[in-house]
Amino acid sequence: MKLFFLFVFLSLFVNCYAIEPVKVAMDVESSAGEGEVSLENIAKIAQGLGIDAVIIGEQYCARFEYGIGPLRRIFRKTYLGDSACKYGLERYLRLFDEINKNSKVLMIEGFETTPYYWWRGSFFKGDLQLVDWHRQFIVTGLDYNGYRDLPVTSTGKSKYSPYDAKKWFEPYQDFVDYVRQRGGLVFWAHPDEGHNEKIHGITVSTQPYPEMLKKVDGFTGFGIFFGGYEETGKPEGIWDQMLVEYCNGRRKYPVWAIGELDYSSSKEVGRIDEMLNFVFAEQKTREGILSAMKKGRLYVSWEMHRKGVYLEEWSLQDASTKEKVFSGGFLSCGAKVYLIIKLRLEKNPESALTINVLKNAQLFDIKEITDINSKEIEIRIEDNPEPGQNNYFRIEVKYRGAQLITNPIFYKYENKK
């Protein structure tokens, strides 16, 4: 269990709620790739919507090829769609330096990547399929060399051939290891969504892949919205199962939830504030925001902020020592702890707020807030953990179709005599 304590130790002494959260929109595509709006105009739209930072989700390399038989290097067809690699990776990254010189919104590079695709069927039989093209990650936080050498099949820098038999999890574990070793962040994108389309007459098919997340360790997190809640992020779902595995020492790293938009059209970009990540970063810089996200210091708000509901505090406190930790942190505690939830209401709610409290992959408590006469709501929930067991809490807040999702807080009752 040493890895458990080593990872979360850095979160112990940071009161992240004393920091004004940075409002971050994530996974927006620009006209340099498959989108319709330039990076500069995305920044202007974000500023008008009160957003502090945008992490782009540009297509990294929209390229695949199919060759026939033993002469496939000669007889082959290649598709190359709009993407950062087609635009020119180095040229693309320079755009961020130029925009951030004058922009009030911090623009951070990010790429939607397909580590591996493979072919099924036969060109001659007319049943050829491109499989797992949309089984993707969002990667950010690397430098030019790190992005350039990403191990993906499309660029030939992966050791896995698209003509081999289907690979299960190995290409994805290799990709995650590569990014983590270089200090980047890597998030599974839309794991609960399938995708079927035709590209130049070729059938492109990807099935939902929530179970894949359990096979791979070391990724930073996953997109809970949109496309990651039904199986992965729901209460007692795949995410909770992975968090229990982490607590039990069967995973090396925790898993965080983020909100990703996957927006590209001009109409979509005009409403990129409908889902935001509230990141408790000590500095409003690229490094500060990504460092906080890497440590789980954020919550996801889907429409909740538009309805005037904000999370003011989400913490766990030792009843005896009064020591308190926050999102992503670990508390070495005594026999009693208090879970503290504080919400700020900027508008008068029109119906009840529901708060689901989850502990160790089980629904621990449900709070229905119906009598709301204040601009602030504070809830304290007592727990008496079993000695020697690693635990976690996380919460969901629901209100009129909107949702707020926190990242977990970990704790363990230890005899400190």
Q: Looking at the structure, do residues 253 and 312 belong to the same domain, yes or no? A: no
Compute the distance between CA of residue 354 and CA of residue 249 in angstroms, rounded to an integer.
32
Q: What is the CATH number of the domain that holds 312?
A: 2.60.40.10
The kind and range of the H/E element at 53 are strand 53-55
Q: What is the CATH number of the domain that holds 186?
A: 3.20.20
Q: Looking at the structure, do residues 11 and 30 belong to the same domain, yes or no? A: no
Domain boundary among 245, 279, 313: 279
Q: Which pLDDT does position 72 carry in this prediction?
A: 62
Would 289 be classed as within a structural domain?
no
Q: Looking at the structure, do residues 34 and 3 belong to the same domain, yes or no? A: no
Q: What is the DSSP letter of 158?
A: S
Structure-block tokens of residue 140 = 């950010």
Quote the domain boundaries for residue 234.
Answer: 23-279
Would 291 be classed as within a structural domain?
no
Q: Which pLDDT does position 71 carry in this prediction?
A: 54
174 φ/ψ angles, rounded to the nearest 5 degrees: -60, -40
Would 352 be classed as within a structural domain?
yes
Give the closest residue to 35 by CA, choosing from 333, 261, 327, 279. 261
Q: Looking at the structure, do residues 57 and 166 belong to the same domain, yes or no? A: yes
70 to each of 74, 79, 123, 157, 309, how far by Cα in Å?
Answer: 9, 20, 14, 21, 61
Q: Looking at the structure, do residues 124 and 258 belong to the same domain, yes or no? A: yes
Give the count of domains, the chain. Answer: 2
Compute the distance between CA of residue 62 and CA of residue 85 in angstroms, rounded to an integer.
8
Cβ-based neighbours of 129, under 8 Å, separated by 6 or more: 119, 120, 121, 202, 203, 204, 205
Cβ-based neighbours of 125, under 8 Å, separated by 6 or more: none
Q: Are 302 and 225 in contact (CB under 8 A)?
A: yes
Would 288 be classed as within a structural domain?
no
Q: Are 92 and 59 in contact (CB under 8 A)?
A: no
Q: Looking at the structure, do residues 150 and 179 belong to the same domain, yes or no? A: yes
Structure-block tokens of residue 196 = 């079927």
Cβ-based neighbours of 271, under 8 Å, separated by 6 or more: none
Q: Looking at the structure, do residues 185 and 314 belong to the same domain, yes or no? A: no
Q: Are 139 and 111 in contact (CB under 8 A)?
A: yes
Would 208 be classed as within a structural domain?
yes
Compute the distance between CA of residue 300 and CA of residue 158 in angstroms, rounded to an integer.
33
For the segment 326-335, what is each residue's pLDDT rounded down to a tens digit? Answer: 999 999 999 9
Structure-block tokens of residue 158 = 């992966």
Helix (H/G/I), strand (E/B), else coil: 208: coil
Q: Looking at the structure, do residues 219 and 359 belong to the same domain, yes or no? A: no
Q: Which pLDDT does position 349 carry in this prediction?
A: 73
Would 287 be classed as within a structural domain?
no
Would 110 be classed as within a structural domain?
yes
Q: Looking at the structure, do residues 194 and 262 belong to the same domain, yes or no? A: yes
| DSSP bridge pairs for 112 | 59, 138
Instruction: Please state, as a whole number, how many other Cβ atoms lie within 10 Å of the Cβ of residue 133.
Output: 22
Q: Looking at the structure, do residues 175 and 220 belong to the same domain, yes or no? A: yes
| DSSP bridge pairs for 139 | 111, 186
Sign of the torsion formed by the C-alpha atoms of 365, 366, 368 and 373: positive
For the segment 225-284, what is each residue's pLDDT rounded down to a tens digit? Answer: 999 999 999 999 999 999 999 999 999 999 999 999 999 999 999 899 999 999 999 999
Q: Are 109 and 150 in contact (CB under 8 A)?
A: no
Q: Are 42 and 30 in contact (CB under 8 A)?
A: yes
Q: Looking at the structure, do residues 172 and 29 belong to the same domain, yes or no? A: yes
pLDDT < 70: residue spans in the chain: 1-18, 69-75, 373, 416-417
Q: Which pLDDT does position 10 carry in this prediction?
A: 39
Would 120 be classed as within a structural domain?
yes
Q: Looking at the structure, do residues 10 and 112 belong to the same domain, yes or no? A: no
Structure-block tokens of residue 268 = 């979509």
Evaluate if pTM is beyond 0.85: yes
